[in-house]
Structure 1
Amino acid sequence: MDTPKKIGILGGTFDPPHLGHLKLATHFAKILHLDELLLIPSGTPWQKSALITSAEVRFRLTEAAGIDLARAFLYLKIATQIGIDRIEIDRSGPSYAIDTAKALRERFGPSANLIWLMGADSLINLPTWNSWDQLLNYVNFAVASRPHHELSSEISKEITELLNKHQCADTNTLENSAFGHIYVDKTLAVDLSSTHLRNQLKSAARETIASEQIPSHVLEIITNLGLYK
């Protein structure tokens, strides 16, 4: 029988995508031996400001980030295939992770290993997500540590209970499970704040900041469209 596919899911507004996203994606693609990685820009992110960049522009930026990510994978000899998915942009109404998880489970079948990639801040804020307590019925979580977001000090009772029930200590458990497990990786500390980056892009140091934190193909589109000024 064929080995079930391991599919990573990295969602977000991607407004804009930046090197933090690519570092997280690269790290988990490598250590979890992902067959495929889906970058999923949100359509209507219900927890974000109404001032976000249009979905189609963010999709275009995410496609550009995928080019830079593919180059990194090639250089690092990571065999993971990259896809930019319109599932949330093409779905009407607010973009809820639970709807995406259900749709991807239906698409890939019951045996596929679906792994939702996130930073520690997302895990901490998980109880604010719609139907958050149902997500692990469809996917696994791979969580990267983040500066200034210490799980031990910021974690809520709900997430403590979730970790007690679902956390696994090694990647093997996650790799061999279709859903229902949480792996917290403490070897990668990456900052994923697009909000902070947008504020920096409005400053006098825009050019220096952009070249240091934004992938080259993404930066080219941002420059050509005059975004985030």
Structure 2
Amino acid sequence: MTTPEKIGILGGTFDPPHWAHLRVAAHFARLFQLDRLLLIPSGNPWQKSAFITPPETRYQLTQAAAIALNRLLGDEGIQIPIEVDRIELDRQGPSYTIDTAIALRQRYGSTTHLIWLMGADSLMQIDTWQDWQHLLKEVHLAVARRPEFALTIDPQSELGRFIQVHQTNDPHVLELAPCGSIYLDQMLDMYLSSIAIRKQLATGGINPNTPLAEQIPSEVLDLVEKLGLYSQSR
């Protein structure tokens, strides 16, 4: 019997993509022994500021980040396809995660294990997303801790009950079905802010004496410099 494919999905504005994004993806690639990783830059992120970098530029930045992620995993002997997917860039209207999840389920079939990767802050705001209650009908959620953000579950709230019903601390549970579980990771502890990085770039530019090189992959930083991005704070 053929083992179902396991695909990790990391969506985001990626304005710009940074090491925290990539280390989350790498961590879950190891943990779940993923067969494939999708990086999905949002096309029209309806909950974000209007002053974001144009979609095609963020697509280029995400492509550069994929090269860095491939290098990071390759250094550990992990060789899996990493794809930058245009699914949200090419779709008209607001970028709703539920629409993307449904489209990916249709693309990859009912038996493929789809694992949507996110931070704890996104999980605690998921009840503001379009049709969020239906998301687990299409994907699993794998949630990374953020050290500055307390994951508090209120059992009296709709979101709290949703998390309690579906949560697990055992990553192997996500191997039992193609979708339907929320894995709360306790191992990874990463924090970086795209907003803070943009402010650093706006105020100090690209300077080897700043910690930007530790925050942004060199492939992304080189493209930021080449395109002259983030010269003004937003």
- TM tier, smaller: over 0.9
My pick for the range that moved more, 193-202 or 47-56, is: 193-202
- Provide the secondary structure at the position in 2 that maps to 1:22: helix
One-letter identity of the residue aligned with 1:71: R
- Structure 2 residue 141 is matched with structure 1 residue 144: no
- Give TM-score, length-normalised by structure 2: 0.94
- Percentage of identical aligned residues: 52
Amino acid at match of 1:219: L
Superposed CA deviations along residues 19-52 of structure 1, whole A, max 9, x for unmatched, are 0101101100001100000000000100111110
> Any gaps of 5 or more consecutive residues in structure 2?
none
Contact 2:154/2:160 (CA < 8 Å) preserved in 1? Answer: no
Could you tell me how far apart the structure 2 residues matched to 1:169 and 1:29 are?
17
- Would you identify which runs of 4 or more consecutive aligned residues in structure 1 move more than 6 Å? 153-156
2:97 & 2:47 partners in 1: Cα distance? 12
The whole-number CA distance in structure 2 between the counterparts of 1:206 and 1:23 is: 22
C-alpha contact 2:6 2:115 (8 A) present in aligned 1: yes
Shift of 1:164: 1.4
Aligned ranges 1:101-180 → 2 under 5 Å:
101-152=101-152, 157-180=157-180
**Which amino acid is 1:218 matched to?**
V
Code of the residue aligned with 1:84 in structure 2: it is: V
Give the match's secondary structure for 1:38. Answer: strand
- Is 2:27 the counterpart of 1:30? no
Q: 1:156 to 1:218 in 2, by over 3 A?
A: farther
- Note the residue ranges of structure 1 that are not aligned, 5 or more in a row: none
Q: 1:220 aligns with which of 212, 217, 222?
A: 222
Q: Is the 8 A contact 1:43 1:91 kept in 2?
A: yes
Shift of residue 8 of structure 1?
Answer: 0.3
The number of residue pairs the alignment matches comes to 229
Assess if the C-alpha contact under 8 Å between 2:117 and 2:141 holds in 1.
yes
Q: Take 1:171 and 1:44, find their aligned partners in 2: how far apart are those partners?
A: 32
The one-letter amino acid paired with 2:120 is A
Aligned equivalent of 1:211: 213
Deviates most, 73-82 or 142-151? 73-82
Q: Deviations over 1:87-120 (max 9, x none)?
A: 0000000000000000000000000000000000
Q: Secondary structure at the match of 1:164?
A: helix
> CA offsets per residue over residues 185-213 of structure 1, 9 Å max, x none?
01111114212211222223752132121
Whole-angstrom CA distance in 1 between matches of 2:26 and 2:156: 29
Corresponding residue number in structure 2 for 1:20? 20
